[in-house]
Structure 1
Amino acid sequence: MPRNISAANQAALEARVLVARDFLWIVARNRSTGAPVPDGMWSDVGNVSASVIDPDTGATVTRNWFGAGTLVAIDDIPLVSNLSAQTVNIRLSQIHDHVQQLVREYDCRQARVEIYRGLFNPDTRKMVAPAECRFVGFVDKIDIRTPSENEDGAVTMTCASHTQEMFRANTETRSHETQILRATNDNFYRDAATTTSWKIFWGSKQGSVPTQKKRKKFLGIF
């Protein structure tokens, strides 16, 4: 699938004068208050302030990014033209205090993840244009491996793309309590919790009310 890039980035690519750097933006949560805790890291040394293209609004925003070896590696991000959910592994430094604070002090489960790619001019050491977003998703799993002596440790985040939200089932659509939140007089699911135990008599047969298999939902609404 083709990718749209800015004219400045296109010119730098054609001139073969650029250095690529990755930017990782994670919005974790405070374990006590639940408040969002945004954090930015990039694949170079030193702390920088760099501009990126917001994937939600398309506007240019400037954020602070922490360096010094925190972001070790990011898997290749597949480009697909379908609705399948993609996964990307992100490897962070296990011994860095900044990473330790992020994954242990804050809650990163289902944290929003944004990955950007910035192209730098090696002569000016500046980005030729705001970094483009390459991936938006959520942290699906975190593996914190504490090494033994002479072994390597790492913090690996497995992230799933935001496409997975299209296939998330809504478990509340079949409850009476949820139904009356939409309309107070809607009693369609009033007896949904007890119908499985009802006894019926039809001729010589008796027993519980048979139930149909739950149909697979699309977008969690059918």
Structure 2
Amino acid sequence: MARDIPAATQALLEGRTLVVRDFLRITARRRDNGAPVSECFWSDLGDVNFPVIDPETRLAVSYDFKGVGALIAMDPIPMVSNLTVQTLSIQFSQLEDRINELLRKYDLRQADVVVWRGEFDPATMRMLEPADVRFVGYVDGAPVDTPAEGEAGEITLECVSTSQELTRSNSDVRSHESQQIRAPGDDFFKDVAQVDKIKIFWGGPRRIKAVGVEE
């Protein structure tokens, strides 16, 4: 999707003075009842409320983001306009209590992940426009490294973009029963279980019989 860049933002980009910050939302699940729980972080200090672009509606919404400062590191996110499956590694320090709580208190398997990139005027540190979406996907792994004595450990979230779902094959059985679940009344697969036993003879009157069935 093409992005319209305001003139003020373009001027800062050309002058190489634009300040950028990353915003992250992780939607995990409660371990007791599976209810979704969202936690939001940003790559600076302090707890703030900033507007971001919703990846589904493309409308601006605001979230409260918890500051993790330099404790967050993230792979570069290429901007692509195709269905390429993207992977993303996000590193946190185990010294961050909020990250530890998220990892140990909630279930992060297949947790939804959204990353935004916010742009700020360096003179005022005001956000120029709602942060735009840079990555939408889910957690594909969350290993925790146990550090040696005196060293700081890391928590790494391995994420994959939602375009990964397009590569999955449909495991549903092509049967009359499964077709009725998808489209009640559709008899396209009604005879699929015995169609390989039917012989069709060409060139004469209509003669269709099943193997082993007497006419």
* TM-score normalized by the length of structure 2: 0.79
Partner of 1:162: 162
Give runs of ≥4 in structure 1 deviating > 4 Å.
184-187, 189-192
Partner of 2:130: 130
Partner of 2:26: 26
Whole-Å separation in 1 of the counterparts to 2:145 and 2:38: 23
**Cα-to-partner distance string for 1:124-168 (whole Å, 9 max, x where unaligned):** 221111111111111111111121202331110111111111112
Partner of 1:37: 37
Partner of 1:103: 103
**Cα-to-partner distance string for 1:77-97 (whole Å, 9 max, x where unaligned):** 123343221101111121211
SS at match of 2:140: strand
CA distance 1:150–1:71, shift in 2 (3 Å): closer
8 Å CA contact 2:174–2:189 kept in 1: the answer is no
Whole-Å separation in 2 of the counterparts to 1:103 and 1:15: 40
The alignment status of 1:58 with 2:58, answered yes or no, reads yes
Partner of 2:211: none
Partner of 2:197: none
Whole-Å separation in 2 of the counterparts to 1:145 and 1:176: 49
Amino acid at match of 2:29: R
Q: Post-superposition shift, 1:15?
A: 4.1
SS at match of 1:122: coil
The alignment status of 1:72 with 2:72, answered yes or no, reads yes
Q: Post-superposition shift, 1:14?
A: 2.8
Q: Post-superposition shift, 1:110?
A: 1.1
CA distance 1:170–1:146, shift in 2 (3 Å): same
CA distance 1:11–1:155, shift in 2 (3 Å): same
SS at match of 1:144: coil
The alignment status of 1:6 with 2:9, answered yes or no, reads no
8 Å CA contact 1:54–1:61 kept in 2: the answer is yes
8 Å CA contact 1:44–1:67 kept in 2: the answer is yes
CA distance 1:184–1:49, shift in 2 (3 Å): same
SS at match of 1:164: helix
Whole-Å separation in 2 of the counterparts to 1:45 and 1:120: 15
Amino acid at match of 1:159: C
8 Å CA contact 2:145–2:154 kept in 1: the answer is yes
8 Å CA contact 2:175–2:189 kept in 1: the answer is no
8 Å CA contact 2:137–2:162 kept in 1: the answer is yes
Amino acid at match of 1:38: S
8 Å CA contact 1:74–1:91 kept in 2: the answer is yes
What is the 5 A alignment of 1:152-191? 152-174=152-174, 177-181=177-181, 182-183=183-184, 186=187, 188=189
Q: Post-superposition shift, 1:169?
A: 1.9
Whole-Å separation in 2 of the counterparts to 1:177 and 1:27: 35
Return 5+ residue gaps in structure 2 as ranges. Answer: 195-215
Percent sequence identity over aligned pairs: 47
Whole-Å separation in 2 of the counterparts to 1:189 and 1:152: 62
